[in-house]
Amino acid sequence: PKRIRTHHLQRFKGEGRKFTMITAYDAMIANVLDEAGVELLLCGDSAANVMQGSDSTLSITVDEHLVYAKSVVAGAKRALVVADLPFGSYQASPEQAVHTAVRYMKEAGVHAVKMEAHAGNAHHVRAVVDAGIPVMAHAGFTPQAEHQLGGFRVQGRGEQARKVIDDARALEEAGAFCILVEMIPATLMEEVEAAVQVPTIGIGAGTGSTGQVLVWQDMLGLNNGRLPRFVKKYADLRGIITEAVRNYREDVAQGIFPAEEHTF
Ligand code: KIV
Ligand code: NA
């Protein structure tokens, strides 16, 4: 199948169609999601949470995260693979941002990087784009700034709406091919989508964006932790796995497994 490119995503917006992104952190899940038709795979720094059991994304390092990103690339035949740049790996300077983004392109082989950014540091996005690397910008609620933003809260309410739109415009101006916006009111998402030419992706932001994204362990019901309101559970993998493992254990206890056909 032909690889999805950034210009295909732009076409979705032009034609009023929607696309889908799901996170992935390993080759096998990436391959399942890819074959199911998802247009984008995101190796999020949410790997800190769902792969490493951390309660924050701040802890994951570039060296740890590159391994996941490389695995996702190996499993994805058609989807465009995006990797988050981890906290601390691109905020210090435009040069640091380019250095880190280049590592993801070179060592993991991803097709684009994602940076949490705003109008004030859009020049970091610009530097990476100038290096020839497609950048997805992440605005609205940005988890790496959790402690500055006062926890996981909806952004862009009331007076703050202007800032979200200004950030999105500045990030488009800096060359981002797509603007992801997290946890803002649905009406504001519609305004952001209208304010920029590039496609937007929403999470906890209603239906106004061109694309949607969810974390796979959340949407497929593997995660049994507390889920944000914006997650829809499309399957109960935890229930399926639990039942299967109980059956296996029971078979072993009863001496039913392995049977003759599993035996040499
Ligand atoms: O890290 C992540 O998974 C993300 C998405 C949920 C947007 O940034
Ligand atoms: Na992220």
Residue range 62-76, pLDDT digits in tens: 999 999 999 999 999
Whether 125 and 93 have beta carbons less than 8 Å apart is answered as no
**Same domain membership, residue 112 and residue 171:** yes
Amino acid of residue 218: D
Mean pLDDT of the 194-206 span: 98
What's the confidence (pLDDT) of residue 87?
A: 98
Full-model pTM: 0.97
Q: Please say if the pLDDT value at position 224 is more than 80.
A: yes
The domain containing residue 48 runs over which residues?
A: 6-233
Contacts for 14 with CB less than 8 Å, ≥ 6 apart: none
Domain assignment present for residue 90? The answer is: yes
Q: Is 114 annotated as a binding residue?
A: yes
Q: Contact 174/152 with Cβ under 8 angstroms?
A: no
| b/e sequence 139-156, b meaning 16+ C-beta within 10 Å | bbbbbbebeeeeeeebbb
pLDDT band, very low/low/confident/very high, at 243 (cuts 50, 70, 90)? very high
pLDDT above 90: residue 158 = yes
**Under a CB-based contact definition with an 8 Å cutoff, are residues 199 and 171 in contact?**
no
Average pLDDT over residues 28-53: 98
Torsion of CA 253, 255, 259, 263, to 10 degrees: 100
With bands split at pLDDT 50, 70 and 90, how would you rate the model's confidence at 172?
very high
Residue 263 has what pLDDT? 97
Does residue 1 lie in a domain region?
A: no
Q: Give the CATH number of the domain where residue 176 resides.
A: 3.20.20.60
* pLDDT for the residue numbered 57: 97
Ligand closest to Cα of 87 equals 2
Q: How big is the CA angle at 24 (ends 182 and 188), to the nearest 5 degrees?
A: 15
Measured CA to CA, the distance from residue 127 to residue 138 in angstroms comes to: 16
Same domain, 227 and 253: no
Residue 46 belongs to some domain of the structure: yes
**Residue 1: per-residue pLDDT:** 76
Let me know whether 194 and 259 are in one domain: no
200 and 264 assigned to the same domain: no
Q: What is the ipTM of this complex?
A: 0.99
Give yes or no: residues 260 and 166 share one domain: no
Residue (of 80, 87, 116) closest to 3 by Cα position:
80
Ligand 1 atom nearest the C-alpha of 116 is 8
Question: How far is the C-alpha of 22 from the C-alpha of 257, rounded, in Å?
Answer: 36
Q: Output the ligand 1 site: residues, CB below 6 A.
A: 23, 42, 44-46, 84, 180, 182, 203, 213, 215
The answer to whether residues 138 and 252 belong to one domain is: no
Q: Choose the catalytic residue: 39, 172, 182, 193.
A: 182
Percent of the chain residues topping a pLDDT of 90: 99
Q: What is the mean pLDDT of the chain?
A: 98
Q: Is residue 235 very low, low, confident or very high in pLDDT (cuts 50, 70, 90)? A: very high
Q: What's the 181 CA to ligand 1 centre distance in angstroms? A: 10
Residue 44 neighbours by CB under 8 Å, 6+ apart: 23, 25, 57, 84, 114, 215
Annotation says 182 is catalytic? yes
pLDDT in tens, 104-139: 999 999 999 999 999 999 999 999 999 999 999 999
The reply to whether 45 sits in an annotated binding site is: yes
Structurally, the chain folds into a number of domains equal to 2
Nearest residue (by CA) to ligand 1, atom 1, is 44
Q: How far apart are CA 63 and CA 41, in angstroms?
A: 20
